[in-house]
Chains A and B, each alone.
Chain A
Amino acid sequence: SQQGEEDPQALSIQEGENATMNCSYKTSINNLQWYRQNSGRGLVHLILIRSNEREKHSGRLRVTLDTSKKSSSLLITASRAADTASYFCATDGDNAGNMLTFGGGTRLMVKP
């Protein structure tokens, strides 16, 4: 079963707008990561937030984590057409070692 569930499943916005994607999970975690996947390509790691952190920034990315609600959000500010991709959250803490459990992803389309 999937640990993380992204919401919405698909999102379409205009270039320059902000995009917000949410992720919910079921069990306690050590950390939560966000990945991007361009069509037909492998995953690229974007950002990691630890369970004792509430907010983290990386360039145009802002991630929040609410462990009491078991949820996280990824905000992409001033979106660009090149941000068009699928975005996945992944958690660990539910498996041995460093293996991640992925959600179903949010498909983001940024229209020029």
Chain B
Amino acid sequence: NAGVTQTPKFQVLKTGQSMTLQCAQDMNHEYMSWYRQDPGMGLRLIHYSVGAGITDQGEVPNGYNVSRSTTEDFPLRLLSAAPSQTSVYFCASSYSDRVGETQYFGPGTRLLVL
């Protein structure tokens, strides 16, 4: 299994541009989520999904959209990029919503917004 994959690995955007960060997992996990990590800080939850067709907001959802049309894919869309969205973005998945289920993380996407 490839696990959780993310593309691109690195992206530079200009303010106002839009883009989609891709995330895919091949472990048939129901739960998927997006986090952002700012320098020297932990991860903050942006959006999450408990299954195909179901998404919900996390701690810092503003400026981001998500959709979950399939179990495997959970793309994150930046509608109009802002410098404050410069960060490293991690996608994660887990098998179920049982308490204590381990989350598996992708390698991250580094985003720079100029």
Contacts and interface: CB of A to CB of B under 8 A. Distances in A.
Contacts, number: 78
A96 B41 contact: no
9 contacts: A2-B44, A40-B108, A41-B107, A45-B103, A88-B42, A88-B43, A97-B48, A102-B35, A105-B40
A99 B50 CA distance: 10
A45 B43 contact: no
Contacts of A45: 102-104
A97 B105 CA distance: 17
B43 A30 contact: no
A100 B100 contact: no
Interface in B49-106: 50, 56, 58-59, 90, 92, 94, 96-106
A42 to B, nearest CB: 4
Contacts of B96: 98
Nearest to B45: A99
With a 10 A CB-CB cut-off, give which of A41, A45, A95, A99 has the most chain B CB atoms.
A99
Contacts of B108: 40-42
B21 to A, nearest CB: 14
Contacts of B97: 97-98
Interface of B: 4, 31, 33, 35, 40-45, 48, 50, 56, 58-59, 90, 92, 94, 96-108
A75 interface: no
Contacts of A95: 45, 58
A30 B31 CA distance: 18
A99 B59 CA distance: 11
A58 to B, nearest CB: 13
A45 B4 CA distance: 14
Contacts of B99: 30-31, 50, 92-93, 98
A103 B102 contact: no
Nearest to A44: B105
Interface in A1-56: 1-2, 4, 6, 9, 30-31, 33, 35, 40-45, 48, 50
